[in-house]
Amino acid sequence: MSKNAKIAAGGVAAGLLLWIWLPWWAALLIVVGVPAAAYLTLDPSQRRRLRRVTRKELGR
């Protein structure tokens, strides 16, 4: 199992636990808010690089 697959599996498990223990709107806020906050902390050059890599992989 690759490192990225382990991270994804952990994220799914954490999401399921949040879904069970918290109201649905709080779980949704965390699931959407954490990646958005992480994206906003990037420098503009890092955001451009991230968008470029994402577009390049979509074109495969």
pLDDT at 43 over 80: yes
pLDDT at 24: 81
* pLDDT interval class at 41 (50, 70, 90): very high
* pLDDT interval class at 59 (50, 70, 90): low
* pLDDT interval class at 40 (50, 70, 90): very high
Cα separations in angstroms, 40 against 11, 14, 24, 44, 48: 20, 22, 24, 9, 12
> Does the model's pTM come out above 0.75?
no
The residue with greater pLDDT, 42 or 30, is 42
